């Protein structure tokens, strides 16, 4: 059945490019013209959608509240409309920045859900609760904007939810897909998040599908461990030296080349430990991943005057450490009568620094054959929190 909803609204011109529409609508009607775009990846690895899955327990709590005697939901939901929706202003005087009128919203229930003209940017769980509540109607406040650009919808989703208890991994996975002006913390994580995505989705990556993210829940490596490893190197390691053009595409590909080479070498040298879950091996545990990142920087420093290390050069320099590492059995010997059983190594600043210093110092002694010179970094490692 095709019909058209005409919803009284106020158009607010916030800037030359930004126009909002404020209106009230029965929450039970929203799912007839708006859908939820859940985050997922297509077969070619591209990100599609941006919403988190519904949290059933939270929806149940909201539904019970809506069914109570005097419910009030003051926060507005946010809906992005595509260009099939239009605003028709009323005649008469208007203010310099707003005008009254109607949003004209087509409703075609024969269309598949993903082709509806509206997308719920914020308020997914509230609207799901209202939809299921045992009430005849429940009006809600809503804000909307009209755009055919999915990137703009994604930007608004990030900005709306970055101040709420949204899973950080979901936000970080979305960051590479937006050009929005972001808070400084999110801005700093945009390049590491892009590198993580490429590491996890490229066919040529040794880590493809192994990093646990919102779209790869079966990954065995925590996304935050990879982010820490990348951020440490981007701060003052080999990736810092390579990142001089602000993360343009050519630079990103060069950085990925080093990362692919190093982790391919790790896979080759420590093949017995590769692919094991962190509870069975510390190689791909948070402490192991971050510590190996410091080792990647130390090896790259040794080759600094010769260019960037190849996969074979990384493997050659890693091999002498193989017999010293206790990723899944035995005891680490950190010297000065300090020994730790392999599974006692935890993903803490103290243990990461202990393991990182040990690996880099042993590498210097066994391979570099001279006193540590990497600007003292291997002696005072400070992995990021």
Whole-angstrom Cα distance, residue 221 to residue 81? 37
pTM over 0.75: no
For 164, the token pair is 């709420």
Q: Which tens digit of pLDDT belongs to each residue from 294-305?
A: 999 999 999 988
pLDDT score of 152: 79
The answer on pLDDT for 229 being more than 70 is: yes
pLDDT score of 372: 42
Q: Which tens digit of pLDDT belongs to each residue from 148-175?
A: 887 777 777 777 666 555 566 777 777 7
CB 120 within 8 A of CB 51: yes
pLDDT score of 113: 81
| pLDDT (mean) for 345-368 | 93
Distance from chain centroid for Cα 257: 21
The answer on pLDDT for 374 being more than 60 is: no
Q: Which tens digit of pLDDT belongs to each residue from 44-83?
A: 666 555 555 556 777 888 898 999 888 999 989 999 999 9
pLDDT score of 308: 92
Among 115-119, 137-141, 263-267, which is the least confidently predicted range? 115-119
Dihedral (CA of 183, 221, 271, 44) sign: negative
| pLDDT (mean) for 129-140 | 94
**Phi/psi zone of residue 104: left (φ > 0), alpha (ψ -120 to 50 degrees), beta?**
beta
Phi, psi of 331 (to 5 degrees): -125, 135
pLDDT score of 43: 65
């Amino acid at each position: 059945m095709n019909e058209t909803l005409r919803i009284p609204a106020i158009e607010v011109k916030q800037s030359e490019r930004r126009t909002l529409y404020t209106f009230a609508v029965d929450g039970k009607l929203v799912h007839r013209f708006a859908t939820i775009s859940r985050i997922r990846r297509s077969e070619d690895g591209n990100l599609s959608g941006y919403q988190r899955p519904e949290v059933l327990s939270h929806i149940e709590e909201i539904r019970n509240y809506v069914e109570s005697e005097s419910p009030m939901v003051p926060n507005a939901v946010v809906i992005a409309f595509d260009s099939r929706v239009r605003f028709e202003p009323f005649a008469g005087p208007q203010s310099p920045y707003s005008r009254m009128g109607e949003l004209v919203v087509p409703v075609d229930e024969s269309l598949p859900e993903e082709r509806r003209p509206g997308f719920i940017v914020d308020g997914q769980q509230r609207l799901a609760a209202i939809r299921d509540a045992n009430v005849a109607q429940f009006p809600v406040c809503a804000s909307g904007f009209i755009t055919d650009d999915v990137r703009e919808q994604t930007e608004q989703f990030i900005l709306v939810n970055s101040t709420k208890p949204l899973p950080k991994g979901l936000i970080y996975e979305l960051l590479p897909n937006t050009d929005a002006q972001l808070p400084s913390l999110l801005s700093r994580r945009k390049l590491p998040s892009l590198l993580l995505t490429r590491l996890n989705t490229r066919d040529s990556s040794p880590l493809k599908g192994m990093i646990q993210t919102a779209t790869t829940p079966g990954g065995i490596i925590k996304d935050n461990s990879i982010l820490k490893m990348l951020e440490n190197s981007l701060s003052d390691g080999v990736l810092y030296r390579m990142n001089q053009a602000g993360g343009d595409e050519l630079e990103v590909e060069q950085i990925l080349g080093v990362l692919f080479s190093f982790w391919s070498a790790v896979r080759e040298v420590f093949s017995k430990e590769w692919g094991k879950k962190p509870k069975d091996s510390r190689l791909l545990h948070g402490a192991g991943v971050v510590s190996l990142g410091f080792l990647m920087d130390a090896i790259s420093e040794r080759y600094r005057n010769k260019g960037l290390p190849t996969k074979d050069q990384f493997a050659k320099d890693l091999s002498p450490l193989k017999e010293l590492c206790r990723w899944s059995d035995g005891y680490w010997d950190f010297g000065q009568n300090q020994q730790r059983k392999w599974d006692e190594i935890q993903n803490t600043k103290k243990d990461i620094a202990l393991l990182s210093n040990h690996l880099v110092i042993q590498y210097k002694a066994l391979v570099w054959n001279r006193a540590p010179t990497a600007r003292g970094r291997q002696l005072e490692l400070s992995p990021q929190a």
